[in-house]
Amino acid sequence: VTFAFADQQAQPGTETVIQITSSPNSLCGVKVVDKSISLQGSAIC
């Protein structure tokens, strides 16, 4: 499985693209969390 963002960085409120490539019939899950959430020390994630 490969996973890549189109951009190294993105500004808040802007769209970005991710590309996931895997073998046929693979099950892939993705979770993306804004870095500012982890900086707040939140246990949400």
pTM of the model: 0.52
Q: What is the pLDDT along the chain (45 residues), one digit of tens a residue?
A: 999 988 888 887 888 899 999 999 999 998 877 777 666 555 555
Bridge partner residues of 4 (DSSP) = 19
Count of CB atoms situated within 10 Å of the CB of 10: 13
What is the identity of the amino acid at 25? N
